[in-house]
Amino acid sequence: PLFLNQLQKDLEEVKELLTNATRKRVRDVLVAEKQKLELEIKNQPLPKPKDVAEEEKSSLGGYTVKINNYGWDQSDKFVKIYISLNGVQKLPAENVQVNFTERSFDLLVKNLNGKNYTMTFNNLLKPISVEGSSRKIKTDMILVMCKKKREEKWDCLTQVEKESKEKEKAAYDTADPSEGLMNILKKMYAEGDDEMKRTINKAWVESREKQYKGDIPMDI
């Protein structure tokens, strides 16, 4: 607070004057003023403690970046998530925190080159063991080790991915094979580059022309 700051400055100046004062009367006045200021400072209300999370955030500095890129694989016992972060091995170990629950984990990397990094995985496909899970810091990489509760193969990492795959499969598994093929072509067209789009367009035009020619009676 501003007022407390002023009082402390006054006290410093009184102490400085005391070191130079030689006359008893002057010294007595300064000592009395010093005691008065010290009492005032002592009785000042303490600043309210900040919200802990806010204080932690302000001590971190920089801004927070969400990590979206990762790789993963699995063994019988673990699902392993690989997250690339340049220079992460230079940080103190406590700056890399991972909190696990049975179906999620979130990662916080504090103050790496002036930025903080976060990554959250919710709704993991299957339950994990919180006690058995951990993280390892390697050169330019963090490895998150999720201990499987049951030794079984995971088809994907999260429930959302599983549902998305099932919807995609349902779209292609139609009764009409040509409709299934059409869906695949539409997806390839939507996700393809310019070359892919040109190829699909050309094939489409040619197939339409063949159909059209086949419809024309031969005796015309």
All domains of the chain in start order, with CATH: 2-43 (4.10.860.10), 64-148 (2.60.40.790), 159-200 (no CATH)
pTM of the model: 0.52
Average pLDDT for the chain? 82
Distance CA 8, CA 6 (A): 5
Give the list of residues 6+ apart from residue 184 with CB closer than 8 angstroms, or none: 172
C-alpha 147/C-alpha 78 separation (Å) is 5
pLDDT the model gives residue 104: 94
Cα dihedral 87, 89, 93, 96 sign: positive
**155-172 pLDDT tens trace:** 999 988 888 888 877 766
| Residue 58, pLDDT score | 47
Answer with the residue of higher pLDDT: 24 or 172: 24
Question: For 22, how many CA atoms within 13 A lie in the half-sphere containing its CB?
Answer: 0
Residue 133 reports pLDDT greater than 90: yes
pLDDT band at residue 189 under the 50/70/90 scheme = confident
The mean per-residue pLDDT over the stretch 136-143 comes to 95
Listed as own residue / partner, the contacts of 29-34 with beta carbons closer than 8 Å and 24 or more positions apart are none
